[in-house]
Each structure stands twice: as C-alpha cells, then as structure tokens.
Amino acid sequence: MDWVTWVILAAVVFGAWTGFKQGLLVGIFSLVGFFMAMYLAFRLMDRGTEVLARHVQELTFFLPFVSFLILFFSLLFLVRLLSLVARQAIDMLLLGPLDRVAGALLGVFKALFVLSLLAWISDRFQFPYMAEVHEVPAYAYIRPLAPVFIQALDAIFLLRRRP
C-alpha cells in the first residue's frame, strides 16, 4: 500500500475510534454545536467588542478577534457540557453501546468528509502531489463525497428559502 492509502486508513480508523468514544449523540451535539457557536460568535462579536473596549485601551484593532474567540470557545464549552449530560442520560437508559456504534459510523463519515474536502481543495489549487493521489483506488469513492454533500445541503436550504 502506498502512503495515500495509509493516510486514508489512519483517518478512517481515527474517526471511528473518536466517534465510538463520543457516541452518536455527543458527536451530533458537537457538530451542531460547532456551527451554532460559529454563527452566534459572529452575531455577538460586536457586542463583545464593545464590552472589551470598555476595559482595554490599547490594541483595540485586535478586540473583534479576541471577542470572537472568547464567545466561540465559551459557547463550545456550554455545548460540550450539555452533550455530556445527554451522554449520561443515554448511558442510564442502557442505549450506550448502540449510541457508541452509531457514533463510530458518524466518526468514519466525518473523517471521509474531511479527506474529501481536502482532496476537493487540493484539486482546485492543482497541487503537484495530486497526480499520485488520483491513482489510489479509494480516491474515486472519497473525492465526490464533500461536493455532493454540500450540493445537497445547498439544495435543501434553497428549497426552504422559496416562498
């Protein structure tokens, strides 16, 4: 096996392992929480900058970035706490093993999605090593995953916006 196949295999195994450790519920909470934290941090960044500006007199050009980081990581922390509470409830209901197996599948999907996204970006920028990557048999299956998924999400959100 060549190095590309080993990288793909390592990413899939790592994704399955982390997904199994987290479980499906925590994995979904983490995924949704990441995007929610990103959205809310951008929305609340101006207010956070105003609060920080009252206490900081120097380096004010840096305050929006600091405000975003504080909000983003605080919101991620809150989502993580909620997901851990939900995890405890799942374990108490004896659904833990099923949740963990489903989490492993979600972890594999996330790993393959990230690899597909990296391949998509690499193809766009025409990196020189991509010729070697194109020869790997698994590449044909992994490469279209991110574009197809993003197009499907785009179609769903476009349908929702129509009156």
Each residue's pLDDT tens digit, 102-129: 999 999 999 998 888 888 888 777 777 7
Name the pTM for this structure.
0.68
Question: Taking the domains of the chain in order of start, what are their residue ranges?
Answer: 3-159
d(CA 118, CA 37): 23
Which among 91, 76, 115, 74 is positioned nearest to 21, based on CA atoms?
A: 91
Name the 3-class secondary structure at 66. Answer: helix
Each residue's pLDDT tens digit, 12-47: 999 999 999 888 888 888 888 888 888 888 888 889
Give the residue carrying structure tokens 């840096």. 62
**In this structure, is the dihedral angle defined by the CA atoms of residues 149, 155, 156 and 157, taken in order, positive or negative?**
positive
Each residue's pLDDT tens digit, 59-84: 777 888 888 889 989 998 998 888 88
